[in-house]
Amino acid sequence: MSPSFNEQFDQHGAWRRDFAQRFKQLADWLRDHDLLNDAVDERLRRIEQQVRADKVMVAFVAEFSRGKSELINAIFFAGYKRRIMPASAGRTTMCPTELGWDAQLAPCLRLLPIETRLAPQALSEFRLMAVAWEQVPLDVKDPEQLAQALQKVAEVRHVSKDDARALGFWHDETPNDNPLTTADGLVEVPRWRHALINIAHPLLKQGLVILDTPGLNAIGAEPELTVNLIAQAHAVVFILAADTGVTKSDLSIWRDHLAVDPDQADSRLVVLNKIDTLWDSLSTPEQVRAQIERQRQTSADILNLPADRVIPVSAQKGLVAKVTNDTSLLMASQLSQLELALGRDMLGKRQAILRAAVGAGVEELRTEAARALHVRRRDLTEQTLELKGLRGKNGVVIRHMQGRIEQELADFNDSGAKIQAVRSVHLKLLRECLDMLGSKQLREVMSEFNRLLRQPGIKLGVKKAYAQTFERLRATLARAQAASADIQTMLAGAFRQLNTEHGFSLQAPKEPDLARFRRDLDQIERSHLQYLGVTNVLRLAQPQFTDRLVRTLMVRLRVVFEIAQGEVELWNKSAAAQLDSQLRERKRNYVRRIDAVQRIQQAAAGLDERIGEIDAQEDAMDTLSTRLAELAAELIFEPPGGFGEVDASLPLQKSA
């Protein structure tokens, strides 16, 4: 059988652990051989943090009663031999629920009251406010207690229409989307705004995050859920019911929140769940297969997806099969095909992106360290030539050489003012560039955006408001890119002059590419405009909703601009560290040259002895260069195992 998602994720975890071990070897080796400067140390820290903290998020999205929670149970929690997430008939997951692992916290369920929607803070801000959450301890060794505690995510409250309207669950403009009312006119709403489940599940400990979302009404009322969490998920699994196909509410969720451009279709998987409802004992297996294939093709056409992105599954039968170890039932459920698709599409893609980023970082790190070794080797070669020129010379010549070296050292020390001038100009330009990407500039743009959204009749001009705002943000990035180009030109000229005057081998580091952050802005703008469809744009008349929307956007943009700032700062560190390193090596070289001449003056045999020492050091440099290349190459390797292809064949009905 094909490897399960759990097995494929284990392979991903093994790759990360192997990388961490190899990476530690490289870091220790660089430290032992004095090849760490500020830039190299920063790159080490960033690469290590990137791999260690890498998270893989899978978002499960569906309208109510599509079997979403049952699917999560079947894929991730069948090892408990029972249901863990509530998956009874009707509406079970009432609030968005994240499952992950934070070693700093005890196993627990944290619940954010629905009333926090009335506060101006975004969901991401509440994550940092521990007192705002109700916490329920979890016993991961007791499946019964675990399942019972997680039932709380299904809790509801009954409130007046005015309260439901304030909380974002009742809209006079779209009465068909409103929830049902009780006999006394009360509206049923979720008790909780968001739930965080922290358990030490093997997959969650390796960095998997599972996002379980409720239906259309709850998704639309929480901007941060759609434009931040779902938009940044590495894979989105959209669940339909095989017996109904794409309903009107399913299509609303897809069009308003999940539809992507064709080149991004590999981040979306559609599950045609409950195919067991089509297992008709009066139909032949071929007829059942044809019926499922028709539903599959129809769903793909409606959602504008390739048919291979729609996978027929029976989550309930798959869970039963895993619990009872029924291989034939598991094959009929087609759950393994979905797990294989998740592994191939999500883990394969995520690992490729991570390996590419790590590979680029390791190569830059290797270049930094190799440059330091080159400087040392060049200085050794110059010393060798200098000392060989002393063979057969008398003491007067040797003393003259010592005086010349000491004068060179004095001139070099006197050049500090010129080098400091280079640093001063560099830092001035750098501060200007960083200010462009700073929080003050961003707050000014967002303040104007908030003003635009509060204008009367904004519902008709919301696209224009977004276009103006994002054009300002793109212009900010363009100005920062132009400023970095000026810095690059200045550095290149200054480094050339220093190389000429002092024999350095300085090379201006590669200028940061801020264009990729423009692409991030494009994606954020698209996700917001998609979210603000006909339904949600009407909510802009509510000040609380507008505030929440702006705060949500601010959170996302702040991350983009902070990362851009970090790229510029690392670029600066690379330039400064390179200069500091070569200044330090040059001073060491002068000290070694003076020491060598003094030793030669004291003993005639000192000359050949010192040349021999330098030859040995040059051999050591060659060995270090070779080992550096080996350690770097070992970090850029193919992961164990692989991600296979999904079998396009459709299931037969379960035989009696």
Residue 537 has pLDDT above 80, yes or no: no
CA distances from 634 to 54, 112, 348 (A): 20, 45, 20
Token couple for 635 = 């970090």
- Residues 346 and 205 grouped into a single domain: yes
pLDDT in tens, 430-488: 999 999 999 999 999 999 998 888 877 666 688 889 999 999 999 999 999 999 999 99
In this predicted structure, the answer to whether residue 121 has a pLDDT above a threshold of 80 is: yes
pLDDT for 637 beyond 70: no
Same domain, yes or no, for 323 and 437?
A: no
Host domain of residue 418: 392-602
The mean per-residue pLDDT over the stretch 281-298 comes to 89
Q: What is the pLDDT of residues 178-232, one digit of tens each?
A: 778 888 989 988 899 999 999 988 778 878 898 988 776 566 667 788 788 888 8
- Give me the pLDDT at residue 354, please: 77
Closest CA to 386 of 585, 600, 587, 581: 600
**Residues 345 and 398 placed together within one structural domain of the fold:** no
In-domain check, residue 376:
no
Residue 237 has pLDDT above 70, yes or no: yes
The Cα-based distances of 267 to 230, 258, 278, 357 in angstroms read 11, 10, 28, 19
Residue 629 located in a structural domain: no
Q: Are residues 221 and 172 in the same domain?
A: yes
* Domain end call among 559, 582, 602: 602
The pLDDT value given to residue 534: 57
In terms of domains, do 399 and 346 share one?
A: no
What is the DSSP secondary structure assignment for residue 98, as one 8-state letter? E
Query: Token digits for 198?
Result: 């922290």
The CA-based diameter of the chain, rounded to the nearest angstrom, is 113
Determine which of 70-79, 331-340, 522-531, 605-614 has the lowest per-residue pLDDT on average.
605-614
Query: Is pLDDT above 70 for 301?
Result: yes
Model confidence pLDDT, tens digit, residues 337-356: 888 888 776 677 777 777 77
Structure-model confidence comparison of residues 131 and 592, the more confident one: 131
Question: What are the pLDDT digits (tens) for 265-279?
Answer: 778 899 999 999 888
38-44: long-range contacts (C-beta < 8 A, 24 or more apart)?
38/573, 38/576, 38/577, 38/580, 39/368, 39/509, 39/570, 39/573, 39/574, 39/576, 39/577, 39/578, 40/365, 40/368, 40/369, 40/577, 42/570, 42/573, 43/361, 43/364, 43/365, 43/368, 43/570, 44/365
Residue type, 340: L
- Total number of residues shown for the chain: 656
**Residues of 518-550 as b/e, b for ≥16 C-beta within 10 angstroms?**
bebbebbbbbbbbbbeebbbbbbeeeebbbbbb
pLDDT, position 393: 65
Residue entry with tokens 């190389």:
499
Pairwise CA distance, residues 362 & 347, whole Å: 21
Question: What is residue 650's predicted lDDT score, i.e. its pLDDT?
Answer: 38
Give whichever of 36-50, 90-104, 161-175, 229-243 has the largest mean pLDDT: 229-243
Cα 640 to chain center, whole Å? Answer: 22
Residue 385, domain member (yes or no): no
List C-alpha distances in Å: 534 to 174, 252, 451, 459: 10, 10, 21, 9
CB 653 within 8 Å of CB 280: yes
Q: Clarify whether residues 423 and 349 are in a common domain.
A: no
Half-sphere exposure of 350 (CA within 13 A, CB side): 27
- Nearest CA-CA partner of 212 in 413, 25, 67, 399: 67
Residue pLDDT, tens place only, 97-107: 999 999 889 99
The tens digit of pLDDT for each residue in 135-189 reads: 999 998 888 898 899 899 889 899 999 998 888 888 777 777 777 888 898 998 8
Is the confidence at residue 644, as pLDDT, over 50? no
Residue 438: predicted pLDDT? 92
Q: What's the whole-model pTM score?
A: 0.75
Quick one: 337 and 263 in the same domain? yes
Residue 362 lies in a domain: no
Identify the band that residue 360 occupies on the pLDDT scale cut at 50, 70 and 90: confident
User: pLDDT band at 93, cuts 50/70/90?
Assistant: low
Name the CA dihedral angle for 325, 331, 332, 334, rounded to a multiple of 10 degrees: 110
441 and 519 together in one domain: yes
* Residues 406, 347 within the same domain: no
343 shares a domain with 399? no
Q: Worst-scoring range by mean pLDDT, 144-158, 415-429, 515-529?
A: 415-429
Average pLDDT of every residue of the chain: 83
**At 338, which CATH number?**
3.40.50.300
Instruction: Give mean pLDDT, residues 321-335.
Output: 93
Residue 648 has pLDDT above 70, yes or no: no
- The answer to whether position 610 is within a domain reads no
Domain end: 602, 622, 648, which one? 602
For 385-409, how does the pLDDT look when each residue is reduced to its tens digit (9 = 90+)?
Answer: 877 776 666 667 777 777 877 887 7
Percentage of the chain lying above the pLDDT 70 cut: 91
Same structural domain for residues 482 and 397?
Answer: yes
Q: Return the pLDDT at 547.
A: 83
Mean pLDDT of 313-320: 94
Number of domains in the chain: 2
Q: Say if 167 falls within a structural domain.
A: yes
634 in any annotated domain: no
Q: For the domain that residue 542 is a member of, what is the CATH number?
A: 1.20.120
Between these two residues, 327 and 41, which has the higher pLDDT value? 327
628 pLDDT exceeds 70?
A: yes
655 in a structural domain: no
- Taking 70 as the threshold, does the pLDDT of residue 307 lie above it? yes
Say if residue 451 is in the same domain as residue 564: yes
Per-residue model confidence (pLDDT) at position 603: 60
* Predicted confidence (pLDDT) per residue in 10-25, tens digit: 777 777 788 888 888 8
- Work out the number of other CB atoms within 10 angstroms of the CB of residue 622: 11
User: In angstroms, what CA-CA distances link 19 with 229, 239, 462?
Assistant: 28, 35, 47
